Structure 1
Amino acid sequence: MTENDFVPSGYSHQIKSGKATWSAPSNIALVKYWGKKRNQIPANPSISFTLDIAATTTSVSYAKLTQSQGPFSFELFFEGNPKKDFEPKIETFFARVEKYLPFLRDYHFIIETSNSFPHSSGIASSASGMSALALCLMDLDRQMNPAMTSRFFKKKASFLSRLGSGSACRSIEGPIVQWGDHDDTEGSSDLFGIGYPYKVHNVFENYQDTILLVDKGQKQVSSTVGHDLMHNHPFATQRFEQAHNNLSELQQVFANGNLDRFIAIVESEALTLHAMMMTSHPYFILMKPNTLEIINKIWAFREANKAHVCFTLDAGANVHVLYPEHEKDITLQFIKNELVAYCENQQYLCDKIGFGAKKM
């Protein structure tokens, strides 16, 4: 598919007003996306677990204007309060997707959004937030074109989400979503995420993710700036090749359930992501001392107990602790006994693999 496949040729129905509510989950990448081209195109493919509990719920009320406005017409409320500092991001998103949702200037929108997790807690709220918003707008798009198939609805929602936040395109479906062209994955695309199309061993069912909130503060470098620093990065070419290779090997791991190889790939990907940050120009470090303490504790526990717990990181200090459901009891006890002390205010969130966005 191309971008033009998402441009409507016309609408068969006119809608005066209404409301749509969707809940979209966050996700945690196993093979990381870091670096992008124009129009939110990834420099390398990525794959993620869709989460279940960590989600954004967004309601969009819409009423047709008597005449189209010059600027976009919307109000934004986050957890019940006006959120002016979010508005520029919505403006940018609307401008990017207007070609694909040509009705945007014809309506006044009231956007009400809330998270099931603390804001700035190190969970990808941009992924869940932008995907939830895209789904609400797609709800109106589908009402105006009732012939739209469910499959196309999901693809276009993922496509639009990507234009708000790259990783948001992986929050539409679940439990495993891949984004980015990859020679070994049929149907893969830079334009949208796809549900992982191959065999997955049952050891990955209900896979657990406990998120340790090491540092809830504002990141010193935004992800957007970090992505841009990959353009002239001295190790960019090797990194992009590594991501392709790791994704190919992960397909074998998903099929055969080899958790030792899963751990090796996932942890290497997390550390490589941060290595790219530390070797860019300018360089920066998002891990904190307690991040490293947790990593070392996980390694020691895994060795001592022959367990299959591992860590991954997003572009921040917080740690996602991944482990199979059959090791849940022993791992949770370890987390409570040894890792929670390294969390800010001893805060952590228990989550697991989920199945994508839901209409509310």
Structure 2
Amino acid sequence: MFTEQDFIQTNFSTIDKTAFAWSAPSNIALVKYWGKKENGEQIPANPSISFTLKHCKTITSVEVKRKEMNESFSFDLLFEGQPKEEFKPKIQKFLERIERFCPYLKNFHLVIDTKNTFPHSSGIASSASGMAALAMNIMSLEKALVPAISDDYFYAKASFLARLGSGSACRSIKGEVVTWGENQSIKASSDLFGVAFESLHENFKQYQDTILLVDKGEKVVSSTLGHDLMHGHPYAERRFEQAHDNLAALSTILKEGAIEDFIKIVESEALTLHAMMMTSMPYFILMKPNTLEIITKIWQFRNDTKFPVCFTLDAGANVHVLYPNNVKEKVLQFIKDELVGYCENGQYICDEIGKGATCLK
């Protein structure tokens, strides 16, 4: 188990220039992370677990060149090959946050070029995949400067760094299913970085996630504000206890393959997330009428056909339809026939469980 102190390096070799490229996927939480501890940076108030996606990902390349002056960070930021000045403050803040763990970054000028495989206006959160891809590139630079670091250290620190950019990004580094946050049921679980879930049952291999784009607009509530609303929330402590219990139960389900029990917990978690927002102060309703229509249709379809299809939600209106690969054809036909009409411009994205970040260069 790595500690925060383990991620502070002091001895580095030197290089003049190099370049790297990584892709990192988004992920969809099954047990939701909602709320941060007040006595730490990006430390979750409760543990979470997520499916890693395969196709919804960010591709980021970084060109690195040594510079003379090292008093400040120096970087250019491109999105799809074009300068993106409005993204720079977030990257600047991220670099400042990780400086203690990556002091070598001030020795270089970075050219960061990033793009998403999904439309930027799709309503799919790109912060998890974006920060994960950037963290992988930074760790490739660290590996070039400290060749002796192990693979375990490489991926754990990448997840640790990604977490400091976006909490859920730590679950986009490595593994089909990833947990984040200390929980007694998960071996080596940590608040500092994501841990790949072991012994995933065959029933959950190749699991499908079709994302129905109900609302492609900007988030009504930012993740930062949403997490902050858990401070002083009347139901927060009970919610945190529930997340621990659900994660413990789900860890057994994912090992044993009990899909019906999986459905109950996953749907309950999605509705609980939205219930917490509806009962906060100020309060928010993040669903749209079409979100509820889709949920009702899924329940009816499942009841009529006995197919193991369910939904989950992020902090927004879009619906993730989850189902095993062996019913893919029939579920996709149901989606086309019954659900597409509730999507903005009829748009949806077909994805499935993936394995994490991939080195491209």
TM-score bucket of the superposed structures, by smaller chain: over 0.9
Corresponding residue of 2:23? 23
Structure-2 residue corresponding to 1:239: 239
SS at match of 2:147: coil
Tell me the secondary structure at the aligned position of residue 75 of structure 1: strand
How many angstroms does 1:84 deviate by?
A: 1.2
Tell me if structure 1 keeps the 8 A contact 2:123–2:218.
Answer: no
Aligned partners of 1:27 and 1:124 also within 8 Å: no
Aligned residue number for residue 119 of structure 2: 118
C-alpha deviation, 1:225, in angstroms: 0.5
Is 1:214 the equivalent of 2:230?
no
- Tell me by how many angstroms 1:103 deviates: 1.1
Runs of 4+ in 1 over 4 A off after TM superposition: none
Distance (whole Å) between structure 2 residues aligned to residue 79 and residue 225 of structure 1: 29
Equivalent position of 1:50 in the other structure: 52
The CA deviation at 1:95 is: 0.5
Equivalents in 2 of 1:351, 1:43: separation in Å? Answer: 29
Aligned partners of 1:15, 1:316: CA distance in 2, in Å? Answer: 44
Aligned to 1:65: 67
- What 5-or-longer segments of structure 2 have no aligned partner? none
2:224, 2:121 → 1: CA distance?
16
Post-superposition offset of 1:71: 3.1
Give per-residue Cα distances to partners, 1:152-185, cap 9 Å, x unaligned: 1000000000000000000001200000000111
Q: Distance in 2 between matches of 1:326 and 1:337?
A: 19
The 5 A counterparts of 1:184-223 are 184-197=185-198, 199-223=199-223
Deviations 1:99-147 (A, max 9, x none): 1110111111111000000114232310000000011011000100000
* Equivalent residues of 1:55, 1:115 under 8 A apart: yes
For the pair 1:171 / 2:172, whether they are aligned, the reply is yes
Which residue in 1 is equivalent to 2:254? 254
Moved more, 28-37 or 79-88: 79-88
DSSP 3-state at the match of 2:52? strand
Q: Distance in 2 between matches of 1:74 and 1:200?
A: 40
Amino acid at match of 2:42: Q
Give matches, 1:123-162, under 5 Å: 123-162=124-163
Distance apart, 1:85 and its partner CA: 1.2
1:256: Cα distance to partner?
1.9
Deviation at 1:258, TM superposition (A): 1.1
Provide the aligned length of Structure 1 versus Structure 2. Answer: 357
Is the contact between residue 57 and residue 113 of structure 1 (CA under 8 Å) also seen in structure 2? yes
**TM-score normalised by L of structure 2:** 0.98
- The corresponding residue for 1:105 is 106
**1:14 counterpart letter in structure 2:** T
Distance in structure 1 (CA, Å) of the matches to 2:121 and 2:225: 17
Confirm or deny: 8 A CA contact 1:54 1:351 kept in the other structure.
yes
- Counterpart for residue 43 of structure 2: 41
Deviation at 1:200, TM superposition (A): 2.0
**Matched position secondary structure for 1:264:** helix
The TM-score, its normalising length taken from structure 1, stands at 0.98
- Secondary structure of the 1:103 match is helix
Partner of 1:286: 286
**How far 1:314 moved relative to its partner?**
0.6
CA shift for structure 1 position 255? 2.0
CA distance in 2, matches of 1:16, 1:77: 22
Q: Counterpart in 2 of 1:298?
A: 298
**Which residue identity does 1:299 align to in structure 2?**
W
- What amino acid does structure 1 have at the position aligned with 2:221? V
Deviation at residue 23 of structure 1 after TM alignment: 0.2
Structure 2 distance, partners of 1:130, 1:285, is: 27
The AA in structure 2 aligned to 1:266 is: V
CA distance in 1, matches of 2:334, 2:159: 37
What is the Cα deviation at residue 266 of structure 1? 0.1
1:238 is displaced (CA, Å) by 0.4
CA distance in structure 1 between the partners assigned to 2:298 and 2:280 by the alignment: 28
User: 1:9 Cα shift?
Assistant: 2.7
**Could you say what the CA RMSD is over the residues aligned between the two structures, in angstroms?**
0.8
Determine helix, strand or coil for the equivalent of 1:253: helix
**3-state SS, counterpart of residue 21 of structure 1:** strand
* SS in structure 2 of the partner of residue 40 of structure 1: coil
